[in-house]
């Protein structure tokens, strides 16, 4: 059986919403199963020493306009969320309690609550409302997210993503190949269609390339 398309996401990112929709559609079109992977974007940023887009004023101003343009191109209606940034932990933990079609439906409901004109998922009550509106027992799912094992599951999934080289959302992995961001959806489609990818020796060539300069203050500059 052809391998699944694993989709790493966090509800805090508008690009993750577009990536979730686009990658899910491509997986379905090519007969590949979808493997949702909720992760905490803040955890990825911390692990790689990065700031989030919302933490860089110039980028924060740009992101929503850029995401809106991409959404329009995909035929998706995008709205400014009720609050941003916000704490997505409860929503991420809640959807992690589900499996299969129910999980995918809950993920879509939470994304729409944030970016599709809903009331958001910035607190337990908002998460419960979004899930209940989608036909789930939202209160029960939110209550279950307080279980330490459920909290640990999201931590472990985020740690596993970091160990696997995931540094942002959305990230899609299929047949061992990583695709990051909505701009890589065309490349994901090429992969799923069996079109040739980069040359086999490209990673080795890039990894062994000598550095002709080091930016002051960078990690490579530490201790100099």
The pair phi, psi for residue 112, each rounded to 5°, is -65, -35
pLDDT at 224: 47
Cα atoms in the 13 Å half-sphere on the side-chain side of 136: 27
- DSSP letter at 3 equals P
CB atoms within 10 A of CB 47: 15
Cα atoms in the 13 Å half-sphere on the side-chain side of 157: 24
pLDDT at 146: 97
Give pLDDT tens digits along the chain (224 positions).
479 999 999 999 999 999 999 999 999 999 999 999 999 999 999 999 999 999 999 999 999 999 999 999 999 999 999 999 999 999 999 999 999 999 999 999 999 999 999 999 999 999 999 999 999 999 999 999 999 999 999 999 999 999 999 999 999 999 999 999 999 999 999 999 999 999 999 999 999 999 999 888 766 665 44
Q: Which two tokens stand for residue 199?
A: 């040359």
The CA distance from 114 to 121, in Å, is: 6
pLDDT at 215: 82
**Boundaries of every domain in the chain:** 5-198
- Burial of 173 (C-beta count, 10 Å sphere; 0-12/13-18/19+): buried
The CA distance from 162 to 156, in Å, is: 10
My answer on whether omega of the bond before 149 falls inside 30° of 0, hence cis, is no
Q: Which two tokens stand for residue 84?
A: 């941003």
Domain 5-198: CATH superfamily is Glutaredoxin (3.40.30.10)
- The reported pTM is 0.94
């Amino acid at each position: 059986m052809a391998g699944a398309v694993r989709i790493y996401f966090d509800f805090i990112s508008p690009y993750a919403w577009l990536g979730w929709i686009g990658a899910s559609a491509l997986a379905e079109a090519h007969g590949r199963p979808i493997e949702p992977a909720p992760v905490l974007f803040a955890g990825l940023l911390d692990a790689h020493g990065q700031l989030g887009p919302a933490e860089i004023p110039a980028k924060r101003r740009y992101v929503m306009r850029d995401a809106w343009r991409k959404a329009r191109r995909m035929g998706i209606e995008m709205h400014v969320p009720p609050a941003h940034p916000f704490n997505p932990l409860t929503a991420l933990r809640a959807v992690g309690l589900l499996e299969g079609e129910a999980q995918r439906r809950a993920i879509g409901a939470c994304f729409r609550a944030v970016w599709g004109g809903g009331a958001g998922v910035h607190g337990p009550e908002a998460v419960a409302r979004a899930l209940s509106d989608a036909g789930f027992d939202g209160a029960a799912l939110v209550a279950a997210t307080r279980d330490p094992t459920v909290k640990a599951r999201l931590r472990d999934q985020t740690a596993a993503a970091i160990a696997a080289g995931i540094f942002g959302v959305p990230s899609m992995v299929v047949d061992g190949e990583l695709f990051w961001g909505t701009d890589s959806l065309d490349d994901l489609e090429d992969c799923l269609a069996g079109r040739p990818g980069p040359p086999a020796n490209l990673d080795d060539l890039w990894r062994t390339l000598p550095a002709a300069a080091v930016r002051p203050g960078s990690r490579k500059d530490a201790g100099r």
